Homo-oligomer: A and B are copies of this chain.
């Protein structure tokens, strides 16, 4: 069919976002829930979240977007395409934060999307497929679990009903919290998405270590999370000779080393972390009787992740047997590895190359809304460096030029996808 448009792809290629406007919007949004240390505390579905949502919607409407809210509170700001029957090319992220969160995690992805739409509005050009910016509800999971709640419901990872029933520590349900802030929208079937991009700060040190501006994200690591309990025998540190001890912490130390070794044995993408550990009774002169610890294993493919799982269970058995101690292992979370769509990943890479930004292939070690979106649409992500790889921290920081670069790559990748959407059925 004939493409009805006044602009050409060549014209699109010349478009550039306004980096200063993007930065200003980030700073303006960061004032809602700003902390003394320069971070943001804006938990999901609080009054502060409502304020931030209202601001985003006001901005989207200023440039002529239509706005819809779904039943889990996800916001979709839509800029009509020339062919509104085509599935939209979508971008987005989240604007809820950790209790001691930063200004960029999530917020960047949402406002980079808004900046793309603003750029097109300024240029008075229209894409073939419609474009949408999504604000996903409760990505962080700090107030309500599961994490990535809005995108999870959208992608069918769990049901709307399950999500609505979750409660925070004060007993407030997601359902009630949504109603209170006026963001309980229509319960309708999730709409088709033609392509999904998400720009995000890296939250890790790789781009900075390699002095690259753009991370071309190939996919997300699969994850297995475990609760491990080591059952020793509590006893006095003084009167109990070494050979008569059953020290749970000594076995836990074996496991901490094992988890590290398992990750190293599965390089380059294998990761293993003991992040949480609790000693009972945790007294200076008492041999630990019980240690509970968490294990977080990640890998790029399921075969590797399964091998790491086996290695962990073997290490627990071995360490326990050696010490005459019981070690319980319970898997509590599983996220499968999620490769991104080759074509969209290629568009990100091409965008970075065309714009002259140093880029590298990376893999997302963390979960993102894009990982759920990849279950229902072609998806890809664009990473930009964050200072010292630090996020989920009030000192989280990122460079304005990097944020602008990532936004320009997002613009080009979205335009590319929006125009191809037409050619696919031409």
List residues of A whose CB falls within 8 A of some B CB: 202-206, 209, 221, 223, 225, 234-242, 244, 247, 249-250, 252-254, 256-257, 260, 263-264, 267-268, 270-279, 282-288, 294, 296, 298, 364-367, 389-393
- Is B206 touching A244 in the complex (CB atoms < 8 A)? yes
- Is A204 touching B271 in the complex (CB atoms < 8 A)? no
Contacts of A209 in B (CB 8 A): 244
- Is B204 touching A235 in the complex (CB atoms < 8 A)? yes
Query: Sorted from nearest, which 7 A-B pairs have the closest CB atoms?
Result: A204-B239, A238-B365, A238-B366, A237-B273, A253-B256, A239-B365, A253-B253
Cβ-defined partner of A249 (8 Å) among B237, B274, B278, B298 = B274
Contacts of A274 in B (CB 8 A): 249, 288
CA of A287 to CA of B50, assembled, Å: 32
Number of copies of this protein chain within its complex? 2
Q: 16 other contacts beyond A204-B241, A238-B296, A238-B366, with CB at 8 A cut-off?
A: A203-B236, A203-B238, A205-B235, A206-B239, A236-B366, A237-B273, A238-B271, A238-B298, A238-B364, A238-B367, A241-B271, A242-B271, A249-B256, A250-B257, A253-B253, A273-B285
- Is B273 touching A287 in the complex (CB atoms < 8 A)? yes
Task: Give A263's nearest chain B residue, CB to CB.
Answer: B242
Q: What distance in Å separates the Cβ of A360 from its nearest Cβ neighbour in chain B?
A: 13
- Is B225 touching A284 in the complex (CB atoms < 8 A)? yes
Known A-B contacts A244-B206, A273-B285, A283-B276; A389 and B238 likewise in contact (beta carbons under 8 Å)? no
Contacts of A367 in B (CB 8 A): 238
Cβ-defined partner of A294 (8 Å) among B225, B235, B242, B284 = B284
- Is B282 touching A279 in the complex (CB atoms < 8 A)? no
Q: What distance in Å separates the Cβ of A198 from its nearest Cβ neighbour in chain B?
A: 14
Cβ-defined partner of A235 (8 Å) among B221, B264, B298, B390 = B390
Q: Which of A223, A278, A298, A389 has the most CB of B within 10 A?
A: A389
Contacts of A234 in B (CB 8 A): 390, 393
CA of A237 to CA of B268, assembled, Å: 15
Task: Give A297's nearest chain B residue, CB to CB.
Answer: B237
